[in-house]
Structure 1
């Protein structure tokens, strides 16, 4: 912590929230004042670890902090963030911004009214691998994203589209920069009451096609983005931290491989949030970006629901 550090708090100390607390405590721009969790024992343990105060109610932070990370279940994002925004507290909300586009728009309106930073935790935007891909790729013709992993039993309160695929929805929207005009999708629940895998095809107004696959019941982990532009074919492995490309006419003879040094993307995300608060500037991933990703995710979920369950179930073999 340095003089003039931003007084911060973390609300929700589950698996990911504990990482937020650690990074707020370690960042010199931040003074972690308090942590909040409905589980008093968990809150007390985190408070002891980081020299903070433990609370069980997020409203106890009002008047004590300037900025917070909100890492509670998605269904609580609107209620928790809304009350803190109204109190003039800057918020970093873990993705997705909310559980419905209507709730997201309300948070944006309230943040604008209070003049506070509203940042959404789309962590892959801070991946140097994605940053380098975005810098080098030309206008995409097609984009293919795969995000699959084994069952962990977490975040089952939300569909896999909101749990995993929304990361890639945000990345595709950032790469393409055009409006989604058509959506096709299939998916199905397997172990959770909501969809555990999903496939989606997005058609953009500029003609770009994007194909997205997400699964939380896979036998392996993969986080890959493949892009075809006018000149090259690009393969970005976000987990292995590599970008491979080759010319569309020269094939593998013109192959180029880049290895990207390790980074802590959450640390970069939180530092960016604190910088936006300190400078009173627009965050890298603002409320509109969060709303845009959520709107497309909602379109995908609705499209899946329109499909006969039998047709969706037939796709399970390719989901993992």
Structure 2
């Protein structure tokens, strides 16, 4: 497919969906032609800002677009994405891929059957800061991932594990490069009906351990990753855009140039569409992160541990 002919759309124009619309409108790799939201006024406002068509039903995009970003609430991911995939439309779906592993597996199967790209919005994979950390860290023995911030009152339809920690689950899986064999976790609800903070300890088949800390009721903003291998410690501050490498008395700090990670994510998606290749963060990666997230939430709830399954068929 000629990238100049890729007609794009966005479904769901809330907080993050509006950013998707802006990036699609600015992209040189596709042409934004329509946006969709059940709120007609919101759809009209975003459409007017970018000079495109507004619709209130995602199915009205069928026949008008070749690729879409889906940024609706998680509970609607499967219904919306399955309609679009079945119509042969390439889909970039915000994380988590779906609200259950079963729904995620169904989306993956539908995309494979239709031969379309299914990409999951694990945006930190496109962060140059994470790329530098991964290169410097190699295969660490221990990981510490922290993603905390003050209460914003959004995305409370899902647990903090699916809202925030899911990012770091994906990054931990990427850095560890092995299957999760054991999960311990704790968390609690504070202001939302579901957990607002969570701590998880993951043990991987290759002996790597990862401690994950997520909160949406913290007194500060922090997004950091620490990778440890003996005396060598590599620390990334995703917000400050720095990577620090410490080993013994030696300390080296790497400043990473500014970037727009959402623009990079969308560009990668449209490149996959144009070149007919799999997404960098495909449905299998989204499913693997979701399966681990389910195990963490189960551990918090005190449910019996499930057998390890990072995304394969049951």
- Normalised by the shorter chain, which TM-score bucket? over 0.9
Equivalent pair of 1:81/1:93 in contact (CA under 8 Å): yes
Equivalent pair of 1:181/1:203 in contact (CA under 8 Å): yes
1:190 offset after TM fit, Å?
Answer: 0.5
Aligned equivalent of 1:302? 298
1:174 offset after TM fit, Å?
Answer: 0.5
Aligned equivalent of 1:317? none
Count of paired positions: 302
Q: Distance in 2 between matches of 1:82 and 1:15?
A: 23
Equivalent pair of 1:5/1:28 in contact (CA under 8 Å): no
Does structure 1 residue 79 correspond to structure 2 residue 75? no
1:30 offset after TM fit, Å?
Answer: 1.3
Runs of 4+ in 1 over 6 A off after TM superposition: none
Equivalences for residues 115-264 of structure 1 within 5 A: 115-230=115-230, 232-247=232-247, 250=248, 253-264=249-260
Q: 1:279 aligns with which of 241, 251, 275?
A: 275
Q: Distance in 2 between matches of 1:169 and 1:158?
A: 16
Q: Distance in 2 between matches of 1:198 and 1:27?
A: 36
The Cα offsets for residues 289-315 of structure 1, whole Å up to 9 and x where unpaired, read as 0000000000000110117xxxxxxxx
Q: Gaps spanning 5+ residues in structure 1: where?
A: 308-320
The Cα offsets for residues 206-252 of structure 1, whole Å up to 9 and x where unpaired, read as 011100000000110000000112451111000000011111xx2xx
RMSD, matched Cα: 1.1
1:138 offset after TM fit, Å?
Answer: 2.4
1:102 offset after TM fit, Å?
Answer: 0.5
Equivalent pair of 1:138/1:230 in contact (CA under 8 Å): no
Q: Gaps spanning 5+ residues in structure 2: where?
A: 304-314
Aligned equivalent of 2:306? none
Q: Distance in 2 between matches of 1:102 and 1:174?
A: 22
1:93 offset after TM fit, Å?
Answer: 0.2
Q: Distance in 2 between matches of 1:89 and 1:229?
A: 43
Q: Distance in 1 between matches of 2:207 and 2:147?
A: 23
TM-score (norm 2): 0.95
The Cα offsets for residues 253-293 of structure 1, whole Å up to 9 and x where unpaired, read as 20111010110000000000000000011111000000000
Q: Distance in 2 between matches of 1:304 and 1:166?
A: 15
Q: 1:289 aligns with which of 285, 297, 304?
A: 285
Does structure 1 residue 268 correspond to structure 2 residue 269? no
Equivalent pair of 2:3/2:274 in contact (CA under 8 Å): no
